[in-house]
Structure 1
Amino acid sequence: MAVSLPRPHRVDVSIAALSLVCGVVLWSLGLHTSPGRMLDGTWALIPLAVLACLELVRRTAPQTALALGTLAMVADQFTEGNLASIMMFTDIVYAAVVYGTPAAARRIPLTTGLVTVAVTIGFLAWFQKPEAILIGVLTGVVSFGPATTGVLVRNHREATEAAKLRAEQTALLAEMDRVQAVTAERARMARELHDMVANHLSAIAIHSTAALSLDNPETSKDALAVIRENSVEGLAEMRRLIGILRSDSGDLEPAAAPTLDGLGALVAGARTNGLDVALDDARAPEGPKLPAPVELAAYRIVQESLTNALKHAAPGLVTVSLAQEPRALTIRVTSPYGDPSGPRAPGSGAGVVGMRERTELLGGTFEAGPDTSADTDHDGKVWSVFATLPVDPADEGAKE
């Protein structure tokens, strides 16, 4: 089976061709580096041709090119020599360090350095003249110099590649953070939109169904009044939310986050919508003010629980209980459930998910489901929502 050799790089072909032409021109002009050697005439063209061929594989097979190039350079010392041969050998040494393996890049500079020292000491001991040091210097220029230059270039390229890789990784992490931030913000906006508007829309749906199904002018009039009230309040909530999302809306005043002080108005609105609600707020009136995130989460949990009760609860009393402990605020909303006698609004289940997310973001616990242990007259069927929101004592009273 034939083995396909790698195709030489275009630059390597140009270097080999130009070096060979220059070497032939120098030889034809009689310009030799070591005239008077034992092999004169055309013998100098053989190492020249071999080194030119090795230039073709300086990238694809750098270590092989260096080994054969060293043999060709040793053979060139027995001929009259050629400056082009020396230049091609230095380029092969340089390419072996730059394009070779990491082990070769570490080994070649050390080897050429030791060879340079050995040649210098050897010729100095042989000739016993200071001029012998020049031979060692030339050896270093031809071998050790290109090797160290290759190390510098290779290190620079590796540092550049590492910096490029770090930049790409940083950009990737920044994009991941941006996507996560956008996702989290969308989830927050979805919770706010659901909590702000769902209560009003549920009341509108229930009372409009009642108005259409009951042939009673007085009942229809009361239902239409409730529908109008919830429509106006829902529209105001939507405008406030849009004002937060749009900087060019003209609403420069930030919308105040709801607090537990508004629970009375929230319960009153639920009663207006036809829900029988009892509020038991066991918090001390003079107690320290809760952190804003805790108050917002508690308000939204009560609001969503009342919305769910309006949509799904059976006739009966809905109780809202709040109790402030030293390190937590507990919220419990119970409502009878079963087959409601009146119309009911459809539900998507997003409300329970939103309440759970709000609680978990604060490190609290959340439970929602049937509570058979509760005392009720409605066949023992009670739906209970229970949330515990941690309160750091260090944060209490931070905002007066």
Structure 2
Amino acid sequence: MRRDDALWAVACFVAAVVLLAAGAYEHRWAPAYLFLGPLVITCAGVAVRRTRPLLSLGLGVVAFVGDFAMGPSLGTVLIITDNLYAGVRYGPRSLGRRMLIITSVIAVLAGVLGGALLRQWAAAAIFLVQAGLVGVTPVFTAMLVRQLEEQAVAERARAEQVARLAELDRAAAVQAERTRMARELHDMIANHFSAIAIQSTAVLSRRDLEARRVREVLESIRENSVEGMAEMRSMIGLLRQDGEEPEATRRRVAEVGELVERAREAGLDVRLRVDGAPGDLPAAVDLAGYRIVQESLTNALKHGGKVAEVVIGYRPGLITLVVDNPLGDATRGLPGAGTGIVGMRERTVLVGGVFEAGPYDDGWRVRAELPTRESA
């Protein structure tokens, strides 16, 4: 029994007693105090209306039969409507349909019997309306409220599900952006720092270098440092912008010559060949192609021999990038995280291309085919 239901039952009992004292009951053979019996029964049903809804309904039916046999009384009849409401509202869902049929049939029978006994159609209508108000109205109201509550629960669950999906989408977007940022930073910085590491290692390991040669190497190291910092600043500037500005970090396949020159300065003999007529490329393809060549040359500096060949082929609707280099000694390579090939493959897939990387003849080949049409 809930405390608020118990208090409500006491309030109903007091109000019904006041109505009995005022004479709000049918004066037949029973004195007023006998109506207290059905009243107590129906008020007991109010006290357990939410914890024991079927018991509340049963007590209401018993109280109605006893009260109707003596009168009926207005207070008890009004409280019985709460018993009907509670039974349908908090009881089994299937009970509502059955109770609606039962109360509707009782209302019709009450109207027909009342009209037949009094032989007045007006009396039949009055009995029908009264029985409908007492039985059908609370049952229908309980069914309606229950349906609205279930709809509210369903909408709340749907809203929570949408919120969870939105959170998953947000988390996926954040993860994708982090992956993209990591790929960009890796591709931009690895080439420069790999060249710096290789050149500085060469200077430290050779004590017989001429001052002029040492100066040339230091100048190359400085150039790679400055360019690496410039690209880092460009990336940071892009991240600080509110809107999307792809041009801020866009590099182009046409600028591959600069990568080749830096690789040569780092000690790698790079041969560049361009087949076909260069044309304008979509921004995503342009950047992907540039980064693939950049990463391939970085890997050649770290793990390859002293020679690398870069072939760029322009075809209708397609650009091919091939980087071949012989494998060098294992002791020559610098340690790597293994993310370079993964990043190149991701870039190729994002623009709808095909990527291959692996042993080829006596060396290593990286090959990428990138579609150049905007619809690709």
Q: Normalising by the residue count of structure 1, what TM-score does the alignment of the two structures yield?
A: 0.86
Counterpart in 2 of 1:177? Answer: 169
1:320 match: secondary structure: strand
1:330 match: secondary structure: strand
Counterpart in 2 of 1:336? Answer: 326
Is contact 1:48–1:82 with CA below 8 Å preserved after alignment? no
> Per-residue CA shift, 1:268-313, capped at 9, x if unaligned?
221111111111221324xx52222112111110110001101111
Identity %: 44
Counterpart in 2 of 1:166? Answer: 158
Counterpart in 1 of 2:191? Answer: 199
1:135 aligns with 2:127: yes
Is contact 1:210–1:220 with CA below 8 Å preserved after alignment? no
Of 226, 229, 232, the match for 1:238: 232
Instruction: Give the CA deviation at 1:345.
Output: 2.6
Distance 2:15 2:189 in 1: 86
Distance 1:22 1:161 in 2: 35
Map 1:257-268; keep pairs closer than 5 Å: 257-268=250-261
Instruction: Give the CA deviation at 1:45.
Output: 1.3
Amino acid at match of 1:386: R
Counterpart in 2 of 1:389? Answer: 370
Cα 1:142–1:327 change in 2 (3 A) is: same
Distance 1:145 1:152 in 2: 10
Distance 2:311 2:54 in 1: 82
Distance 1:298 1:112 in 2: 79
1:361 aligns with 2:350: yes
> Per-residue CA shift, 1:359-395, capped at 9, x if unaligned?
1222322221212xx3xxxxx3x11112222344x64
Of 228, 236, 245, the match for 2:222: 228
Is contact 2:264–2:270 with CA below 8 Å preserved after alignment? yes
1:351 aligns with 2:345: no
Instruction: Give the CA deviation at 1:157.
Output: 1.7
Cα 1:231–1:295 change in 2 (3 A) is: same
**Greater than 4 Å deviation, 4+ residue runs:** none
Amino acid at match of 1:296: L
- Where do 5+ consecutive residues of structure 2 fail to align? none
1:137 match: secondary structure: helix
1:35 aligns with 2:16: no
> Per-residue CA shift, 1:95-118, capped at 9, x if unaligned?
222222222233323332222122
Counterpart in 2 of 1:4? Answer: none
1:363 match: secondary structure: coil
Paired positions, count: 371
Cα 1:183–1:321 change in 2 (3 A) is: same
Amino acid at match of 1:105: G
Cα 1:332–1:253 change in 2 (3 A) is: closer
2:305 match: secondary structure: coil
Instruction: Give the CA deviation at 1:184.
Output: 0.7
Is contact 2:24–2:75 with CA below 8 Å preserved after alignment? no
Instruction: Give the CA deviation at 1:76.
Output: 0.8
Counterpart in 2 of 1:97? Answer: 88
Amino acid at match of 1:239: R
Amino acid at match of 1:102: R
1:88 aligns with 2:88: no
Q: Normalising by the residue count of structure 2, what TM-score does the alignment of the two structures yield?
A: 0.92
Amino acid at match of 1:390: P
Instruction: Give the CA deviation at 1:327.
Output: 4.2
Counterpart in 1 of 2:111? Answer: 120
Query: Cα RMSD over matched residues?
Result: 2.2
Stretch of structure 1 that moved more, 193-202 or 273-282: 273-282
1:332 match: secondary structure: strand
Counterpart in 2 of 1:377? Answer: none
Distance 1:62 1:293 in 2: 67
Amino acid at match of 2:16: G
1:335 match: secondary structure: strand
Distance 1:99 1:243 in 2: 62
Distance 1:246 1:133 in 2: 78
Stretch of structure 1 that moved more, 181-190 or 63-72: 63-72
Amino acid at match of 2:23: L
> Per-residue CA shift, 1:226-273, capped at 9, x if unaligned?
11110111111111111111239xxx9952511111112221221111
